[in-house]
Amino acid sequence: MSEIEALAGALRVGETTAEALARRSLARIADRNGELGAFAFVDHEGALSAARRADDELRDGIDRGPLHGIPVAVKDLIDVRGLPATRGSAHFAGHRAADDATCVRRLRSAGAVIIGTTVTHEFGYGPTGDRSWHGPARNPHDPRRMAGGSSGGSAAAVASGMVPVALGTDTGGSARIPAAMCGIAGYKPAFGRLPTEGVFPLAPSLDHVGVLGATARDCRLVVEALAPEHPVSRGASAAVARIGWVEAAAEAPVVPAVAEVTRRALSHHDVAQVACDALDDIWETFSAIQSSEAFATHADRVRDRPELFDAEVLDRLRDASRTPGWRYVRALRARETARRSINGLFERFDLLASPTVGITAPLLGRREVKVNGSSRSVRSALLALTSPWNVLGFPALSVPAGCVDGLPVGLHLMCPADREDLLFAVADSVAASVVEA
């Protein structure tokens, strides 16, 4: 049973109330947010008002579904009407959202209680989560370490029990990377599955709304509430899944202990090793597309008010400005070629799998890391296994696989857009096997 299902059941038999759940979240935020830096803004009054309204509706026989009365946090790139919307940047100091993003409006329609907004890496432009106007998001398993990014605040909020679920965004792994590093589930649905209206863009052709939850089942329930026109069917059997384990490429090295733990999480399944040249070559495609589109988003700010950026984010944007147009055009063509190749692979396998991140959570501020004896940038080490799936647009899910040296690692599962049922069935199976281990 997922955490949402457990709380929803307790609400409906009278063991708790939505107001009590909101107060519990607020108390946990007061207790731990100073240490972890998960929340940018906490909406005490709005959350309690919404919770009381949810309780009144249940008493009147109005039940909006599994999210009714459930506390939810929202990343500070996603507009929540009336709340500060800083995007993690001094550029938006004092700015408040005029309206709800479409995904937030759908959360409210499902009865969810918005607790507040969570810390993002400035403008979502970084996988480390430690470059924000609000300060770094810290890992609940070791606050000296990164929560990951850019949805690090959402991951820290869920992993520390402040809220059961949170919305994030995912342009290169921004929901899945912090989920893996904080020991929770993170889901990036197929491109376009969840609406991005009211979400501040980073690279629009790569941007996805993502969900972070205690379990994959929690993520599935949120996705279904946000996209009710496309429910995830039930009844798929994880036992019949044909799973291809993607071999590590030179651009995506994995620490052996991480590979061992994540592969072991699939020990009850039939898994075949598979090489994929399309994935090996896609890092440059991702970099060209993200750099070009990110600079297009921020060119005026870089020109007019560069001093308001975090220095590291500004340096990345200035580097991005030097991406030639021909590289962007070639990258768009390469993306279509890679999609055809992966579609062919999905004719042989139902799912593909790998570690979500090839390393454990680095220390805050660290920018170089040793992987199998070679020095790599932390950014590339974090993004290497997740970013291809933003380029390709297929669903991708990170689930907890265990720990290495006391730090969580995630198993990464990918599928065609019409096989989410099997993806979540395998995720449930993995969760059961990890608990048994």
Residues acting as catalytic residues: 75, 150, 174
The pair of three-digit structure tokens given for residue 238, joined into one six-digit string:
């994880």
Q: Are 146 and 182 in contact (CB under 8 A)?
A: no
CB atoms within 10 A of CB 163: 31
CA gyration radius for the chain? Answer: 20
Q: Are 141 and 84 in contact (CB under 8 A)?
A: no
Sequence letter at residue 132: S
Phi-psi region of 106 (alpha: psi -120 to 50; beta: other; left: phi over 0): alpha
3-state secondary structure of 239: helix
Strand order in the sheet with 71-75: 39-42, 113-118, 71-75, 165-170, 208-213, 185-188, 396-404, 407-414, 351-355, 243-246, 271-274
Bond preceding residue 150 cis, omega within 30 of 0: yes
Q: Which of 141, 149, 138, 198 is nearest to 171 (CA)?
A: 149
Return the exposure string of 24-35: e unless at least 16 CB atoms fall within 10 Å of the residue's CB, then b. Answer: bbbebbeebbee
Distance CA 90, CA 393 (A): 31
Determine the longest span between alpha carbons in the chain, in angstroms. 63
The pair of three-digit structure tokens given for residue 189, joined into one six-digit string:
């649905």
159 φ/ψ angles, rounded to the nearest 5 degrees: -65, -30
Sequence letter at residue 402: G
Distance CA 366, CA 126 (A): 13
Q: Are strands 39-42 and 113-118 parallel, antiparallel or unpaired?
A: antiparallel
Dihedral sign computed on CA atoms, order 325, 327, 330, 331:
negative
The pair of three-digit structure tokens given for residue 209, joined into one six-digit string:
């709304």
Sequence letter at residue 40: A
Sequence letter at residue 408: P
